[in-house]
Structure 1
Amino acid sequence: MVSDVARQVAEQVRTGFGLRLSTMEPVTSGADQNARLWLAQAADGGRYAVKLSGGGTPAGLVVTAYLAEQAVPGIVAPLRADDGGLSIDNDGRRLSVVPWVSDQRALDGPMTGAHWRAYGEVLAAVHAVPVTDELSRLLPAGGAAYPSIVTATRAMAARLRDPANLVDPLVAELAGVWSAVADRLGVLVGEVERRAGDTRDRPGADVVCHGDPHLGNLLLGADGQVWLIDWDDAVLAPPECDLMFVLGGVLAFAPITAEQQQAVLAGYGTADVDPLRLAWFLAVRALDDLSDWTRQALDLDAAAADRGRAARIVRGLVSPVGLVTLAEAALRELDGQH
């Protein structure tokens, strides 16, 4: 059954983009709680991702339109509305339409060696595009949100120490998980704060970065083709902001193998990586993921399956192969270099 929201959105797509949709199927695999996404089929048989975005900025649409104009591979350009814009307004939210290029997420596999190499080629091409004045105005600096991430981490730790919040069994379990790694998290938070200034002062130009190029945001096609999607977190940052997903050792809740890493780098080419920036971005991401997925697991109004999935991700983040552990190792290696 098509919801009233979907009907209203379909009508807006018709009047705003000149595209008649015959079906709209909700897509629930994304992690963005501020967005609604549909797989829509047009009357002419074409398929499209129709998205309502309630958070962030339109920068992701501007970036993908620009990258497509620059002939960057693996980029799906958004459709232009009849007024020339990249989105139309829906009660304060952005309504955008993008061609649906593949049903196969890299997160679900299987990725061939050609796919891994193409993933590196896409990242290299993105990082090589000139930064326009418009992008400089629109895109935030990568890592600039670290103070709020540190604050959220500390607030979550305090919440889980309060016995009044531990009535729910899953909350109590996650309180135990956080308690077991409390000392480690304290060190990680301290390292993020201590090294932030040094990270900013390192030489090297900022480039366009996806900001979140994990396998959940990568689609697979035939003959090794890939598409990098969901540019809502695009930033201007050192390349390490993206490369830490590959060189940091984890791409999506699972370790990346040495062979896969080599294939990505074969596609990317020469990468002059700064170990300090790489470790710092890893640590910031680890804290952000841990606090945000814990917040989702603690949402008593959410579906039990969604809370359970979030809790599993939290356990994975602090596991011996998880992002928290990898960030700690990267920071320790920095100390070993001095």
Structure 2
Amino acid sequence: MMADVSRQVVAWVRADFGIDLTALDEVSHGTGRYARLWRARTPDGARYAVKLSGGGTSAGPIVTAHLAARGVPGIAAPLRTRDGRLFPERDGRRLAVVPWVSDQRALDGPMTEAHWRAYGEMLAAVHAVPVTDELARTLPAGGEAYPSIVAATRDMAGRLRDRIESGDPLVAELAATWASVADRVSTVLRGVERLAAGRSGPAVICHGDPHLGNLLLGPDGQVWLVDWDDAVLAPPECDLMFVVGGVLAFAPITPAQERNVRAGYGAPDIDAARLAWFLAVRALDDLSDWTRQALDRASSPDDRATAARIVRGLVSPVGLVTLADAALRDLDRRP
């Protein structure tokens, strides 16, 4: 039987978009902590992604409508309501309906050479779209939250210091993990603060989080980039740090994969300092946030264990913290 919240969403979609839904299945992946996503079907078999978003900004539907209208490949255009809006406000959250384009996440593979190249072509097309006054008003600047991220990381380090003997085994494990990479984290913290003044550059539309979990695959190399709730205006390095020696999922991108992405993107004029800065900010944000979730005793043991596993991955030899540390040290060695 359809849960109460699902019945409410069905009623909202009918009232706002004029679409009757016969099925609504919640999807656990592809959303942040402040959003819920459903795969919906209509009587004639059409499928839609229905999303309720409470965090981030209203950028998602605004940006994707803008990009799709300009023919950018790999963008699923949101539907408009009966009265022409991109998203109605329901229960304090934004309701968006988008065609369901694929069941195949790139994270689950397999990605062909054509998929990698199309991924690069799509990022290049996104970055080439002119920024309108509306987008300039709507989109935040990429990386502007770095002071709070630095503060959260230092606070977390303080909370875990000397807690290796904690009575909670998970807390003890996390304290030991942070202690083992203290020098690495300090290098990344110093690098973020030192390079912050030079992070500005040409501001383009950036997805902000174009990892493989947000990439869907289709036949003949087709790809779609979804979950635009955290889109920003930033230098291209904000997105490119995922594919230029960065982490696309839970492992570094391989040289062959990077070559294919670059073949699709073209020859970007990449600023090494900006690339390292965005990589470092993302590393600290992920490290502090996932550690916070692992320490949250209000969460289930499974959720805490999953968060702790992600923390271990972030500081592993191929993890984001390690890559950020290496990128910053490489900058220091340059003339």
Q: C-alpha distance in 2, partners of 1:47/1:304?
A: 34
Q: Which residue of 2 aligns with 1:64?
A: 64
Describe the shift of the 1:31–1:189 C-alpha distance in structure 2 as closer, same or farther (beyond 3 A).
farther
Q: Which residue of 2 aligns with 1:314?
A: 311
Secondary structure of 1:37's counterpart equals: strand
Q: Which residue of 1 aligns with 2:112?
A: 112
Q: Which residue of 1 aligns with 2:289?
A: 292
Describe the shift of the 1:31–1:314 C-alpha distance in structure 2 as closer, same or farther (beyond 3 A).
farther
Q: Deviations over 1:233-257 (max 9, x none)?
A: 1011110000000003311111111
**Conservation of the 8 A alpha-carbon contact between 2:50 and 2:97:** yes
Q: C-alpha distance in 2, partners of 1:31/1:183?
A: 33
Counterpart residue identity of residue 51, structure 1: K
Q: C-alpha distance in 2, partners of 1:114/1:86?
A: 32
| Corresponding position: 1:254 with 2:251 | yes
Q: Which residue of 2 aligns with 1:336?
A: 333
Which sections of structure 2, spanning at least 5 residues, go unmatched? none
Task: Between 290-299 and 108-117, report the one with greater CA deviation.
Answer: 290-299
**Residue 303 of structure 1, CA deviation:** 2.7
Task: Between 298-307 and 314-323, report the one with greater CA deviation.
Answer: 298-307
Q: Which residue of 1 aligns with 2:145?
A: 145
Q: C-alpha distance in 1, partners of 2:2/2:285?
A: 35
**Conservation of the 8 A alpha-carbon contact between 1:248 and 1:327:** no
Q: Deviations over 1:188-233 (max 9, x none)?
A: 1111011100223xxx421100000000000000111000000011
**Conservation of the 8 A alpha-carbon contact between 2:164 and 2:171:** no
Q: Which residue of 1 aligns with 2:40?
A: 40
Secondary structure of 2:22's counterpart equals: strand
| Corresponding position: 1:23 with 2:20 | no
Task: Between 125-134 and 153-162, report the one with greater CA deviation.
Answer: 153-162
Please give the residue correspondences for 1:1-338 in structure 2 after superposition, counting only pairs within 5 Å.
1-161=1-161, 163=163, 166-200=166-200, 204-338=201-335
Describe the shift of the 1:166–1:13 C-alpha distance in structure 2 as closer, same or farther (beyond 3 A).
farther
Task: Between 212-221 and 324-333, report the one with greater CA deviation.
Answer: 324-333
Counterpart residue identity of residue 168, structure 2: D
Q: C-alpha distance in 2, partners of 1:205/1:183?
A: 33
Describe the shift of the 1:168–1:30 C-alpha distance in structure 2 as closer, same or farther (beyond 3 A).
farther
Secondary structure of 2:238's counterpart equals: helix
Q: Deviations over 1:33-85 (max 9, x none)?
A: 11111111112211111111111111111000000000000000111011211
**Residue 163 of structure 1, CA deviation:** 4.1
**Residue 328 of structure 1, CA deviation:** 1.0
Which sections of structure 1, spanning at least 5 residues, go unmatched? none
Q: Deviations over 1:92-131 (max 9, x none)?
A: 1111111111011000101000000000000000000011
Moved over 6 A (4+): none
Q: C-alpha distance in 2, partners of 1:222/1:127?
A: 24
Q: Deviations over 1:246-301 (max 9, x none)?
A: 00331111111100000000000111100000011110010011111112222222
Secondary structure of 1:57's counterpart equals: coil
**Conservation of the 8 A alpha-carbon contact between 1:160 and 1:166:** no
C-alpha RMSD of matched pairs (Å)? 1.4
**Conservation of the 8 A alpha-carbon contact between 2:184 and 2:322:** no
What is the count of residue pairs matched by the alignment? Answer: 335
Task: Between 108-117 and 82-91, report the one with greater CA deviation.
Answer: 82-91
Q: C-alpha distance in 2, partners of 1:47/1:195?
A: 46
Secondary structure of 1:44's counterpart equals: coil
Q: C-alpha distance in 1, partners of 2:52/2:132?
A: 26
Please give the TM-score of this superposition, normalised by the length of structure 2: 0.97
Task: Between 8-17 and 87-96, report the one with greater CA deviation.
Answer: 87-96
Counterpart residue identity of residue 40, structure 1: A
Task: Report % sequence identity.
Answer: 70
